[in-house]
Amino acid sequence: MSEDDLTPEGELTGEAAPSVGTVPVLAVVGRPNVGKSTLVNRIIGRREAVVQDIPGVTRDRVSYDAEWNGRAFTLVDTGGWDPDARGMAERIRAQAEIAVGLADAVLFVVDATIGITDADEAVVRVLRRADKKVVLVANKVDDERAEAQAFGLWNLGLGEPHMVSALHGRGSGDLLDAVLDVLPPAPEAGDAVIGGPRRIAIVGRPNVGKSSLLNKLAGEERSVVDNVAGTTVDPVDEIVDMGGKSWRFIDTAGIRKRVKEASGHEYYAWLRTSTAIERAEVCVLVLDGSESVAEQDMRILQEVREAGKALVIAFNKWDKVDAERRYFLDREIERDLVQVLWAPRINLTALTGWHIDRLVPALEKAIEGWETRITTGAFNAFLGRIVAEHPHPVRGGKQPRILFGSQVQSAPPTFKLFTSGQLDAGYLRFIERRLREEFGFVGTPIEMKVQAREKRKRT
């Protein structure tokens, strides 16, 4: 399917290994103010997970790409919820349940200067039941004096408390070594989980018909085993056979049973969506065809694009779409979905199963586009042609030239252009458009990186 035989000639060196396959997920849990987001920042080495001095401000972004000693993992910060709300202990417990449902391992953060609280103990009970690997973090151990206090955390019964100061970095290397010990190995770059079921995330806002679609695809009988005596943790994924192949649906538990969004916080739904996208190869964004495209739909689209995943858009509830609605829908597609016109679109009625058979071909097309690789030779010939037919506009008396280009990665396709100067955003969009015209790349975002030879401004 992918053009595996077209191996790139003259691959550039010094690039990060292509991230193929799914990387393990590490969830960070703990009470508010124990230093979760400070720790996340420390681990990802950026100031991306903004530390809020105002507690309770919901953070949008919850998944981050992290790496330690050459091993990649996804870090999920479960910190962004309202600690002032009533039933805090209940919330923390729910947060922990979701985290263990999503993650391969859990980083449980405790404030060593405060010690064990009731809320911490509630989390411990959840973690024990879940039988997930846990790395216990005694945070705010800024100096040796604080270590004495941290020893008390052995009493949690979760093994060694790893003493760190998220703020100053103390102990964080040892902590990450411990994390790598418990995470399952990520697939090696290159062995793109060939043969394993493709990973699909069905995403969309509430009530668009995600669970109806999943039920139709999986058959009502195949629902997950739930409520196994005392277990509150859901089996997360489900394997479904479609079109003669197995597919892995990510976090179906979250779709089937609005799990413990109990305290009604929309944040949990977002956490699940964001993590499911991160773990998937291809996302099916379900929209309600009978309603206008909503802000929330766009937000999910944005997340899929940023995560670099293949995408299929399914307009559901087509039974409710009449000629008039259809007219407006076409306008909305041009206006709101203009950034993702490359995504295959299908119209279906999950309720009756109408057109449901169109999903597999759409998924396959999107995955094929996502994994497409073009050779360095073909890419440079293409660049030569488009530059000849439509050169970059002259800026300040200079005309940036493209010296060389290469596709440095697939899944998603990522290109690097070496130039004599910065390129206009508009020109980059032009290159992307022409790339799609010539090579397909259906159903996938394309990333373009520019490396200018002159003094580097922003790339």
Tell which positions 245-274 bind ligand GDP, by CB under 6 A: 255
Site stretch for ligand GDP (CB under 6 A), options 181-189, 206-214, 338-346, 356-364: 206-214
Minimal distance, residue 28 CB to ligand GDP, in Å? 8
Site stretch for ligand GDP (CB under 6 A), options 33-41, 292-300, 356-364, 443-451: 33-41
Q: Does residue 219 interact with ligand GDP by CB under 6 A?
A: no
Among 19, 63, 95, 139, binds ligand GDP (CB under 6 A): 139
Q: Does residue 92 interact with ligand GDP by CB under 6 A?
A: no
Q: Does residue 198 interact with ligand GDP by CB under 6 A?
A: no
Minimal distance, residue 122 CB to ligand GDP, in Å? 16
Q: Does residue 46 interact with ligand GDP by CB under 6 A?
A: no
Q: Does residue 206 interact with ligand GDP by CB under 6 A?
A: yes
Q: Does residue 79 interact with ligand GDP by CB under 6 A?
A: yes
| DSSP bridge partners of 409 | 414
Minimal distance, residue 162 CB to ligand GDP, in Å? 12
Q: Which is nearer to ligand GDP, 351 or 360 (CB)?
A: 351
Q: Does residue 317 interact with ligand GDP by CB under 6 A?
A: yes
- CA 421 to chain CA centroid, Å, is 32
Among 3, 65, 90, 142, binds ligand GDP (CB under 6 A): 142
Site stretch for ligand GDP (CB under 6 A), options 7-15, 95-103, 159-167, 425-433: 159-167
Q: Does residue 319 interact with ligand GDP by CB under 6 A?
A: yes
Among 74, 172, 212, 407, binds ligand GDP (CB under 6 A): 212
The 3 state secondary structure assigned to the chain is CCCCCCCCCCCCCCCCCCCCCCCCEEEEECCCCCCHHHHHHHHHCCCCCCCCCCCCCCCCCCEEEEEECCEEEEEEECCCCCCCCCCHHHHHHHHHHHHHHHCCEEEEEEECCCCCCHHHHHHHHHHHHHCCEEEEEEECCCCHHHHHHHHHHHHHCCCCCEECCCCCCCCHHHHHHHHHHHCCCCCCCCCCCCCCCEEEEEECCCCCCHHHHHHHHHCHHHCCCCCCCCCCCCCCCEEEEECCEEEEECCHHHHHCCCCHHHCCHHHHHHHHHHHHHHCCEEEEEEECCCCCCHHHHHHHHHHHHHCCEEEEEEECHHHCCHHHHHHHHHHHHHHCHHHCCCCEEECECCCCECHHHHHHHHHHHHHHHCCCCCHHHHHHHHHHHHHHCCCCCECCECCCEEEEEEEECCCCEEEEEECCCCCHHHHHHHHHHHHHHHCCCCCCCEEEEEECCCCCCC
Q: Does residue 29 interact with ligand GDP by CB under 6 A?
A: no
Minimal distance, residue 38 CB to ligand GDP, in Å? 3
Site stretch for ligand GDP (CB under 6 A), options 34-42, 91-99, 114-122, 433-441: 34-42
Minimal distance, residue 307 CB to ligand GDP, in Å? 20
Among 46, 245, 299, 320, binds ligand GDP (CB under 6 A): 320
Minimal distance, residue 60 CB to ligand GDP, in Å? 14
| DSSP bridge partners of 134 | 106
Planar angle of CA 221, 222, 224, nearest 5 degrees: 120
Q: Which is nearer to ligand GDP, 142 or 447 (CB)?
A: 142
Minimal distance, residue 411 CB to ligand GDP, in Å? 27
Minimal distance, residue 68 CB to ligand GDP, in Å? 18
Judging by DSSP bridges, how do beta strands 198-203 and 245-249 pair with one another?
parallel
Task: Give contact residues for ligand GDP (rule: CB under 6 A).
Answer: 30, 32-38, 51-52, 79, 139-140, 142, 165-167, 204, 206-212, 255, 316-317, 319-320, 349-351
